[in-house]
Structure 1
Amino acid sequence: MTTGAISLAPQPVAFSDAVRVFARIGLLSFGGPAGQIALMHRILVDEKKWLDEARFLHALNYCMLLPGPEAMQLATYAGWLLHGIKGGLMAGVLFVLPGAIVLTALSSLYLLLGDIHVVQGLLFGLKAAVLAVVLEALVKVSRRALTGRPMVAIAILAFIAIALLKLPFPVIIVGAALIGAALHLAGRSGAQKAAKPAIAEVDMPEWTSPSLSRFASTLAVWLALWFGPLLLLHTLLGSQNVFAREASFFSVMAAVTFGGAYAVLAWVAQQAVEVYGWLRPDEMLTGLGLAETTPGPLILVLVFVGFLGGARQSGLEPLAGGLAGAAVTLWFTFVPCFLWIFVGAPYVETVRSVAWLSAALAAVTAAVVGIIANLALWFGLHVLFGTVDDVVAGPFSVRVPDLSSLDPWAVLIAAASAVALFRFHANMLVVLAGAMAAGVAVRLFAT
């Protein structure tokens, strides 16, 4: 075993070269996880040849099992392979930082200029187009996840649980995982087992091999970085302070976000809007639309949520409170991602060899389809209608729109965006830009 840069590449990779390449990836990482993973494959495997195909897929499979943004964790994993923890930190931070800076700036503009007609028009069009983006995500995830009748049934049950029974997101995830494991043990799992790629034997650096002492020290350091600031905020500010509450909320979120950002947004929206009052229902759409226009993982939408919560409830000057809220959100959303990689990566083979665990997570992915369907319904009702009420019937709570409050311009922009995405496979940024332009026109000339 060597102790220098990884020798998967023909020549050891200089750290400065890795910094330049991962900065490039971070700046170009538009288009959601599928586009981001494809970008990394093209650069790291095809162009630079720093990783071979089998090891790239090996890393990707592990990251797909983890809570949190899989593309960001894949970048962290790749950087860790090349230069250990230093490389993983560099790659993960560079993947997140450009989008975080842009989204914080956009959140500041929204806070300061949200009442201006042009800004209102931009956001109106953006929210209508995002509805089409969510529907497209639902279709894509459905095709991959619903591999049999059991998986379809799990998706339907998950939709009923979150949309009608209002069960907490973590309960649904745990329930789906238990069902998937039980189906596997009964021999009736609908999940298809992917072939395990062969990985070439190469001279690997020592940090990639399992070590009990390294496991213990790495776990201790990253748990301290996660829970130390959390305890500090609660001790200094009190548990009811908005920053302490954000730290606790996003810590829980970071541990249960299996299935990507779309899966957790319904839960985040429910809690942030109805429980904490950090923002309005329609503002979740605004944040999602802004996150879609920036590089980096879609989960950066949480920066918008944390920004508005800090701006409105901290007692500080709104912009200062918003910036502090965004910083708290970033820390507690992404520190756990580094923990999962640095602690677990040396044990990837063990994790991937457990058949029942793979079946459990396949069921979680199926449940994600039902959760995204609820997200699409929730977003759609708030985008297309001005008034939406909850009607309670026994254990069920059903959202019922006031049909007279239907906004025909929102319907038109959402439909046009859907046609552009589904029929013509238009670039998402082009679709969002067109929708924002249409929204400005509506606000300036049609109202």
Structure 2
Amino acid sequence: MDVTPDRPEPTFREALPVWAKIGVMSFGGPAGQIALMHRILVDERGWIGAQRFLHALNFCMLLPGPEAMQLATYVGWRLHGTIGGLTAGLLFVLPGALVVLALSMAYALFGQAPLVTAAFVGIKAAVLVIVVEALIKVARRALHRPHDWVIAAAAFFAIFFLAAPFPLIIAAAALIGFVLALIFPQSLPEPLSAPPVSFAATLRTALLWLAIWILPLAAVAALFGPATDNVIADIALFFSKLAVVTFGGAYAVLAYMAQQAVETYGWLSAGEMLDGLGLAETTPGPLILVTEFVGFLAAYRDGGGPPLAYGLLGAAVTLWATFAPCFLWIFVGAPYIERLGSNAKLAGALGGVTAAVVGVILNLSVWFALHVIFGRVDAVEHGPFRLWMPELASFDPVAALLAVLAAVLLLWLRLGIMATLAATASAALALHLLAGS
């Protein structure tokens, strides 16, 4: 039984400023965004009960894409149907997307300026600690049983040493969790009451949103040529594929996305990838908005036409490919959420995925740490194994010192993400100015 009963639903006009407020205030990554929505939607407004909120969150964590944005979309759908879901989801994304676009344009034009470069050294150091903090928090929540630790360790080994595809790791972890749930069944809360769902209506919704997602991107590919010949079509194809495999939140997929964007496509360097993550950390909205930064820079540099126009097009294509599928997942799955929330087998699959995510985030932490603290890192192949080997002579003592400062501020003094980013960027600028004086 839902211990926090829903209060009378608001009108759409009453809900609109609340969604705008959540979109503007949604700093701090998924954990902070989910906590903000729980406080506003459950505790303050009572628009959704605590148990329903938890059921929806568990379902969204099973989906590819940013779980906090999809959770907002679900609550909006529950209150006011499709228009409510669209409004909640778009207002969650748009403030951050506009800010990231502006920062991406500034970065493309002035990113190599000495002062900007110095400030980003501090931002990178703080981002490294933010990722480590996410690793610690996720590990504490996810690793309770011995097999959770085994799955996490296996996932790290597979992605770090064997370069195993991220979707394969997630699929294997879900299957293992599913099988373990059959062998060791867990007690789950009683399912919430839910009306029957029409399969025909579900199919219509799926086909509609597949068309909304795919057709504009197909038109872009047809207009600009095959994906192998044009960066815009490359962006449409890559980020559409990424939208299907982004299980476990942004941190879990960043290693996969970053390594593809840096190593396979050559759109930007590892340092620039860290800069983009730093920009996304300083803005509201999902951390996966870093994809917009990547898409803008890729098209700005390699579009083959006016750089700014192509950069804007690249950003727009990236946003569409990243977030249109999120509405597909929610509008198709929303009617089933309360039925699936208490399904023991799906809960087991989710547990396996969550454990694997810990290993993937550990891989991301190591990969980022090497690229922050060393100027040059090479991938060395030994048979089936891949090792990341830093060049010791490229060690950056300033970056290491700033990472220690960020760790003290964020992990010990609990200063908060925005304040830590500001402090490390300011310290980096001060050290740069002192060195130049």
TM-score by length of 2: 0.95
Aligned counterpart, 2:208: 221
Q: Take 1:276 and 1:153, find their aligned partners in 2: how far apart are those partners?
A: 33
Q: Deviations over 1:233-258 (max 9, x none)?
A: 22222222211111111111111111
What is aligned with 1:196?
189
Contact 2:52 2:338 in 1 (8 A): no
SS in 1 for 2:7: coil
2:60 match = 63
Residue 283 of structure 2 aligns to a residue in which SS? coil
- 1:330-380 CA deviation, whole Å, 9 max, x = no partner? 101001110111111111233334322221221111111111111111111
Contact in 2 for aligned 1:25/1:39 (Cα 8 Å): yes
Are the counterparts in 2 of residues 57 and 197 from structure 1 also a CA contact under 8 Å?
Answer: no
Amino acid corresponding to residue 203 of structure 2 in structure 1: A
> Out of 277, 298, 301, which is 2:266 matched to?
277
Name the SS for the 2:388 alignment partner: strand
Contact 1:250 1:329 (8 Å CA) reproduced? yes
User: How far apart are residue 230 of structure 1 and its match?
Assistant: 2.5
Displacement of 1:321 in angstroms is 1.4
Distance 1:310 1:282 in 2: 18
Report the equivalent of 1:337.
326
Q: Deviations over 1:29-58 (max 9, x none)?
A: 011111111111111122222222222222
Matched, 1:301 2:295: no
Equivalents in 1 of 2:217, 2:173: separation in Å? 30
Matched with 2:244 is: 255
Q: Tell me what 1:182 maps to.
A: 179
Q: Which residue of 2 aligns with 1:210?
A: 197
Q: Which moved more, 1:286-295 or 1:174-183?
A: 174-183
- Asked if 1:45 is matched to 2:34, the reply is no
User: Aligned pair in 2 of structure 1 residues 106, 197: CA closer, same or farther (>3 Å)?
Assistant: farther
Using the TM superposition, give the Cα deviation of residue 209 of structure 1 relative to its aligned residue in structure 2, in angstroms: 5.2
| Superposed counterparts of 1:13-412, under 5 Å | 13-187=10-184, 193=186, 195-196=188-189, 199=192, 210-239=197-226, 240=228, 241-412=230-401
Q: Structure 1 residues 194 and 270, CA, compared in 2 at 3 Å: closer, same or farther? A: farther
Distance 1:55 1:354, change over 3 A: closer
Identity %: 57
Report Cα offsets for 1:108-158 as digits up to 9, x if no partner.
000000121111111111011111111101111111111111111111111
Cα distance in 1, alignment partners of residues 239 and 394 from structure 2:
34
Match of 2:371, as an amino acid? H
**Where in structure 1 are there 5+ consecutive unaligned residues?**
1-6
Take 1:411 and 1:319, find their aligned partners in 2: how far apart are those partners?
35
**Given that residues 54 and 197 in structure 1 are in contact (C-alpha distance below 8 angstroms), is that contact kept between their aligned partners in structure 2?**
no
Give structure 2 stretches of 5+ with no counterpart: none
Q: Is the 8 A contact 2:188 2:342 kept in 1?
A: no
1:56 and 1:387 map into 2 onto residues whose CA distance is: 45
| CA deviation vs aligned residue, 1:163-193 (integer Å, no higher than 9, x gap) | 1111111111112122222333333x8xxx5
* Letter of the 1:90 counterpart: T
TM-score normalized with structure 1 length: 0.92
In the TM superposition, what is the alpha-carbon distance from 1:198 to its structure 2 partner? 6.7
CA distance in 2, matches of 1:179, 1:69: 23
Question: Structure 1's 412 and 59: CA in aligned 2 closer, same or farther, altered over 3 A?
Answer: same
Contact kept, 8 Å, 1:99 with 1:296, in 2: the verdict is yes
> Counterparts of 1:227 and 1:290 in 2: how far apart (Å)?
28
Provide the rounded CA distance (Å) in 1 between the counterparts of 2:422 and 2:268.
24
Pick aligned residue for 2:424 from 414, 426, 435: 435
Q: Deviations over 1:408-445 (max 9, x none)?
A: 11011001101111111111100000011111122222
CA contact (8 A) 2:217 2:317 kept: no
Give the AA of the match of 1:227.
I
Residue 3 of structure 1 corresponds to none
Q: 1:406 to 1:245 in 2, by over 3 A?
A: same
C-alpha distance in 2 between matches for 1:399 and 1:295: 33
Taking only aligned residues, the RMSD between alpha carbons, in angstroms, comes to 1.7
* AA in 2 matched with 1:213: A
Q: Is the 8 A contact 2:191 2:341 kept in 1?
A: no
Secondary structure at 1:390's aligned position in 2? strand
- Give the distance between the partners of 1:221 and 1:244, measured in 2 at CA: 22
**Offset of residue 15 of structure 1:** 1.0
